[in-house]
């Protein structure tokens, strides 16, 4: 494929290929990622219309470790502030002939739309509440490394499911890899139709966590909430915050995940987040660089093949 816009169109074998390549970028001894020249001579532009710490920095690091020229567009100081549209901004950058555009936007579907207008590879770094494919891939790699497999695992995703692109991409990916999925959260933050997605749905967190192998916590995404009932942070923590007592109901060797940013004392107790025997939150960040290297490496190979075949057709 030319782009990575979501998990939805990926075949399980493509997911496994990408995870295996990402694994090859992890140096077990130094717990860092190896360098390569897969993007040598290529230009990568990061366009983040929404805030980011982990995704933007790891895409930048990943591009540099693969030898690309990496440019971070500062959208806060760009001409978007003067009213230039997303598409005009993208077409302007496209005229500078980048090879890869990494895009985050608050509107669901914005990255797909942009991908139709440019002639380089586009990676979705999170669009609205739609998809965040590289997050799901790095979560999958983290789970696979911790548990040795992705199939026949009980994965509980807890919190604000309705507004979460992370939940959506994870559901798609883990469903394709035959994990058993549970969604836990207040009814007001559960998408309509969640029960039709082939997962179990729980409002009672204690019930939902029972025997889970993986506990994935999500934050309340207030920036995407437009009214509706939201419990107070205190009540939320009491009913849906992960503390030691609730975690004790999961499997003895259950791992705790969180995509970040984390709100300690709201959806997760800080001690659990920092417990290196249970929490793999820092591993998720580390795997983010390797997964993004693998995604860009594969897209660059496809791009080179596409350009090669076009050049031979022209001869
Ligand atoms: N998980 C994630 O997307 O984090 P950032 O918003 O910091 O990139």
Sheet with 180-184, edge to edge strand ranges: 200-202, 180-184, 154-158, 214-217, 255-257
- Relative to the CA of 53, which ligand 1 atom is closest? 7
Nearest partner of 209 among 149, 157, 163, judged by Cα = 157
Q: What CA–CA distances, in Å, run from 256 to 4, 116, 193, 242?
A: 27, 38, 26, 9
Tell me, what's the pLDDT at 153? 98
d(CA 197, CA 181): 9
- Relative to the CA of 57, which ligand 1 atom is closest? 8
ipTM over 0.95: yes
Predicted confidence (pLDDT) at residue 28 exceeds the cutoff of 80: no
Predicted confidence (pLDDT) at residue 88 exceeds the cutoff of 60: yes
Residue whose CB lies within 8 A of the most ligand 1 atoms, among 50, 52, 258, for a mutation test: 52
- Relative to the CA of 126, which ligand 1 atom is closest? 3
Predicted confidence (pLDDT) at residue 240 exceeds the cutoff of 60: yes
* Average pLDDT in the chain: 94
Tell me, what's the pLDDT at 77? 83
Other beta carbons less than 10 A from residue 109's beta carbon: 13
For residue 50, how far is its CA from the centre of ligand 1 (angstroms)? Answer: 10
Residue 82: strand, helix, or coil: helix
Residue nearest to atom 6 of ligand 1 (CA): 52
Q: Is 82 annotated as a binding residue?
A: yes
Predicted confidence (pLDDT) at residue 157 exceeds the cutoff of 60: yes
Give me the mean pLDDT over the 296-312 stretch: 92
Q: Tell me the per-residue pLDDT of 195-209, one tens digit each, with 9 for 90 and over.
A: 888 899 999 999 999
- When pLDDT is cut at 50, 70 and 90, the band that residue 29 belongs to is low
Other beta carbons less than 10 A from residue 192's beta carbon: 7
d(CA 292, CA 57): 11
- For CA atoms 153, 154, 159, 165, the dihedral sign is positive
Q: Tell me the per-residue pLDDT of 98-137, one tens digit each, with 9 for 90 and over.
A: 999 999 999 999 999 999 999 999 999 999 999 999 999 9
Predicted confidence (pLDDT) at residue 229 exceeds the cutoff of 60: no
Tell me, what's the pLDDT at 2? 94
For residue 219, how far is its CA from the centre of ligand 1 (angstroms)? Answer: 11
* DSSP per residue, 115-175: HTT-SSEEEEEEETTTB-HHHHHHHHHHHHHHHS-STT-EEEEES--TT-HHHHHHHHHHH
Q: Is 104 annotated as a binding residue?
A: yes
* Residue partners of 284: CB distance under 8 A and separation at least 6: 138, 139, 142, 257, 258, 259, 260
Tell me, what's the pLDDT at 227? 66
- Relative to the CA of 132, which ligand 1 atom is closest? 3
CB 59 within 8 A of CB 292: yes
Q: Is 132 annotated as a binding residue?
A: yes
Q: Is 65 annotated as a binding residue?
A: no
* Backbone region of residue 128 per phi and psi (left: phi > 0; alpha: psi in -120 to 50; beta: other values): left
């Amino acid at each position: 494929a030319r782009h990575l816009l979501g998990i939805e169109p990926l075949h399980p074998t493509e997911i496994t290929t990408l995870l295996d390549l990402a694994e090859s970028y992890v140096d077990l001894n130094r717990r860092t990622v190896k360098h390569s020249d897969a993007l040598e001579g290529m230009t990568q532009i990061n366009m983040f219309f929404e805030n980011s710490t982990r995704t933007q920095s790891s895409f930048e690091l990943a591009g540099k470790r693969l030898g690309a020229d990496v440019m971070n567009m500062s959208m806060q100081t760009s001409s978007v502030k003067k009213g230039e549209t997303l598409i005009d901004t993208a077409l302007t950058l496209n005229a500078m002939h980048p090879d890869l555009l990494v895009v985050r936007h608050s509107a669901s579907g914005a990255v797909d739309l942009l991908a139709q207008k440019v002639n380089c590879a586009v990676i979705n770094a999170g669009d609205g509440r739609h998809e965040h494919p590289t997050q799901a891939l790095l979560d999958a790699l983290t789970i696979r490394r911790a548990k040795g497999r992705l199939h026949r695992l009980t994965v509980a995703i807890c919190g604000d499911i309705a507004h979460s692109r992370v939940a959506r991409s994870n559901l798609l990916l883990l469903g394709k890899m035959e994990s058993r999925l549970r969604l836990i959260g207040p009814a007001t933050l559960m998408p309509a139709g969640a029960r039709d997605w082939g997962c179990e749905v729980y409002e009672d967190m204690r019930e939902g966590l029972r025997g889970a192998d993986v506990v994935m916590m999500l934050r309340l995404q207030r920036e995407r909430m437009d009214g509706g009932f939201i419990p107070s942070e205190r009540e939320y923590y009491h009913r849906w915050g992960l503390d030691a007592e609730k975690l004790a109901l999961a499997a003895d060797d259950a791992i705790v995940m969180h995509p970040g940013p984390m709100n300690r004392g709201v959806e997760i107790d800080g001690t659990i987040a920092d417990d290196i025997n249970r929490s793999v939150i820092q591993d998720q960040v580390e795997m983010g660089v390797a997964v993004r290297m693998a995604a860009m490496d594969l897209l660059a190979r496809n791009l080179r093949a596409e350009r090669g075949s076009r050049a031979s057709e022209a001869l």
